[in-house]
Amino acid sequence: MRLSRAGEYAVRCMLYLSMAGKGVLVRRKTVAREMDIPEQFLGKIAQQLARAGLMEIVQGAKGGFRLMVFPEELTLLAVVEAVIGEIFLNDCVLRPESCHRSPDCKVHQVWTEARDRFRESLQKATFASLMDCR
Amino acid sequence: MRLSRAGEYAVRCMLYLSMAGKGVLVRRKTVAREMDIPEQFLGKIAQQLARAGLMEIVQGAKGGFRLMVFPEELTLLAVVEAVIGEIFLNDCVLRPESCHRSPDCKVHQVWTEARDRFRESLQKATFASLMDCR
DNA sequence: ATAAATAAGATCATTTTTATCCTATATATA
DNA sequence: TATATATAGGATAAAAATGATCTTATTTAT
Ligand code: SF4
Ligand code: SF4
């Protein structure tokens, strides 16, 4: 019940891009080195972040990554879920039909509410507020 | 980022024992059948629950499981953590030394607080309140 | 044209998860 | 006491998820 390494790397990557600023091109190699992320692996993760519209990938010489949203609009939740998928905590929260008890299971309700609160807490955290991480 | 199957099975097992009542012996086979848990796997999970002092295992003919605490005192958090270990959400929350940024990383703070809130929500849920799941 | 840089698919290693098998042990009861 | 019943516990295994790298292709600045 923990964030995957890929998820953590995604956050660090977006943190670096946020510090550079929206639209500013940063080389993949730089992000990898500065944020301690295996460069090739970062490439994979970046694809997911780009597909989610959070960054843009520029190919070719002088290529790299470019933040596509304002840090003020970018949340920890968006970044994490772009990589690990929507957080649901327990199978039955995502697919109630996976357990015949779900219609009136109190545990199911607890998980559902816990998920909501949890996602809210990650949504409240914007990169604008996170990036002055020194 | 989801509860393991073992964790979910543990909850269902304790749910069944709670409905039977503290101290009441229930056969492993019954719990497995009623709660849709592979019986041998349940055996393994029960060992962890027993080690945590939440239930007792009785060997021999007419053996089985027995709830050792009042459902009012048993929390979802205790059951889940007995099986999957303490919830920490992100590595650096458990071991800050795993990332040199942790001392003043805002993201680290968010994860730490999210973990606290999350654990609280699972701690508030006692089996007394969960078991009238029908 | 060349060099620099990332893309994308394939592949691989490791770890975690989810079990099951098998032998041992404990206990009720005939 | 012998037997049947039921769980313990270690070993093992299959499957899935995770973490990462390799290779070839493609893009783009110069
Ligand atoms: S028993 Fe309740 S919490 Fe568990 S899987 Fe079924 S619906 Fe979900
Ligand atoms: S960057 Fe921050 S959140 Fe990520 S591992 Fe380091 S301390 Fe934790």
The distance of Cα B118 from the centroid of its chain, to the nearest Å, equals 14
Between CA A60 and C1' D26 the distance (Å) reads 8
| pTM as predicted | 0.95
- Interface check A91 vs B, CB under 8 A: yes
User: What's the A61 CA to ligand 1 centre distance in angstroms?
Assistant: 52
Q: What is the pLDDT of residue A134?
A: 44
Between CA B63 and C1' C9 the distance (Å) reads 55
**Chain B residues with CB-CB distance to A125 below 8 A:** 106-107, 110
Question: What are B108-121's pLDDT values in tens digits?
Answer: 999 999 999 999 99
Domains of chain B: residue spans and CATH: 5-86+126-130 (1.10.10.10)
The burial of B102, by beta-carbon neighbours within 10 Å (0-12 exposed, 13-18 middle, 19 or more buried), is given as buried
SS3 A19: helix
Question: What are B27-63's pLDDT values in tens digits?
Answer: 999 999 999 999 999 999 999 999 999 999 999 999 9
CA distances from B40 to B17, B65, B91 (A): 17, 14, 31
DSSP A100: T
Ligand nearest to the Cα of B88, by number: 2
Residues within a 6 A CB radius of ligand 1 = A 90, 92, 99, 101-102, 105, 107-108, 111; B 8, 12
Tens-digit pLDDT profile for chain A (134 aa)?
999 999 999 999 999 999 999 999 999 999 999 999 999 999 999 999 999 999 999 999 999 999 999 999 999 999 999 999 999 999 999 999 999 999 999 999 999 999 999 999 999 999 999 987 44
**The pLDDT of residue B132 is above 80:** no
Interface contact flag, B1 A131, Cβ < 8 Å? no
Q: What is the pLDDT of residue A132?
A: 72
* Helix A28-35 and helix A39-51, axial crossing angle in degrees, nearest 10: 110
Q: Cα–Cα distance between B52 and B81 in angstroms, integer?
A: 9
Residue whose C-alpha is closest to residue A20's, from A10, A6, A34: A34
Which among B3, B113, B118 has CB closest to A90? B3
**Chain A residues with CB-CB distance to B4 below 8 A:** 1
Asked if A83 and A49 touch (Cβ cutoff 8 Å), the reply is: yes
C-beta neighbour count of B31 within 10 angstroms = 23
Q: What mean pLDDT value characterizes chain B?
A: 96
Q: What is the pLDDT of residue A129?
A: 97
